């Protein structure tokens, strides 16, 4: 502590992260609206069977949109989670672990999602 300040340099919250959180939050809302419109208004009867889902994914816009949605949601969710964890004031070491964990979790789930989309598209 120097004069009441904790100035250990570490990337806790920062302008970039904050901006990204707002941005992805906004994009999630935009894509979600499109998603709802497409799902409930354009596709008759919703996506309640496997066959429906596979057919739905034949339109090339759809997989791109879903993947984008996944990326935005995962990024936003994990950054939000990180903010909450930061309020438990983790030590530098724990924060580093959290950072690694969240990055791995994020990349993992996005990769998994992309794989899943490709599988569905491939079944068409």
Partner 1 sequence: MAKHPQKPINLIKWFDPRNKSLGSWAFILNRITGLGLTLYLFLHLIMLGQLAGGPEAYDGFIALVKNPIFLAGELLVIAAAFIHGLNGIRIGITSFGIAGGKQKQLFIGLMTVAIIAIIYFAIRMFTH
Partner 2 sequence: MTQTWSITYEIFRKKGSQAAHYDRFEMKVDPDEYVLDGIERIWAFHDRSLVFSHACHHSTCGACGMVVNGVEKLTCITPIRSVTKDGGVIRVEPMRNFPVISDLSVDMTVFYQRMESVGHQPVVSIAHEDSKGKFDPDDDLLRLSDCIECGLCISACPIALTTPAYLGPAVLAGAQQSGDLNLCVLELVDSENGAWRCHSAYECTEVCPSHVDPAWRIMDLRKKLVSRRIKKFFGVK
- The residues binding partner 1 (CB under 8 A) are 22, 25-26, 28-29, 32, 48-51, 53, 73-74, 77-78, 80-81, 84, 87-89, 109, 112-113, 116, 119-120
3-state secondary structure of 63: helix
Question: Please, what is the minimum distance in Å from the beta carbon of residue 113 to partner 1?
Answer: 6
Question: Please, what is the minimum distance in Å from the beta carbon of residue 106 to partner 2?
Answer: 20
**Selection from 93, 94, 76 nearest residue 85 by Cα:** 94
Binding positions for partner 2, rule: CB under 8 A: 3-7, 10-15, 17-19, 83, 86-89
Cα–Cα distance, 88 to 83 (Å, whole number): 9
DSSP character at residue 119: H
The option from partner 2, partner 1, none interacting with 28 (CB < 5 to 8 A, set by class) reads partner 1
Cα–Cα distance, 50 to 55 (Å, whole number): 9
The option from partner 2, partner 1, none interacting with 116 (CB < 5 to 8 A, set by class) reads partner 1
**Selection from 28, 31, 66 nearest residue 47 by Cα:** 66
Of 10 and 55, the one with the shorter C-beta distance to partner 2 is 10
């Amino acid at each position: 502590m120097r004069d009441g300040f904790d100035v250990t340099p570490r990337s806790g919250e920062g302008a970039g992260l904050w901006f990204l959180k707002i941005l992805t939050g906004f994009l999630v809302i935009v894509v979600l609206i499109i998603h709802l419109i497409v799902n409930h208004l354009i596709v008759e009867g919703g996506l309640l069977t496997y066959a429906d889902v596979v057919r739905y994914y034949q339109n090339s816009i759809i997989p791109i949109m879903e993947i984008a949605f996944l990326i935005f949601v995962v990024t936003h969710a994990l950054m939000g989670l990180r903010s909450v964890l930061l309020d438990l004031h983790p030590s530098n070491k724990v924060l580093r672990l959290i950072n690694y964990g969240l990055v791995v979790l994020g990349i993992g789930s996005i990769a998994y999602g992309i794989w899943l989309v490709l599988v569905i598209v491939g079944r068409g």
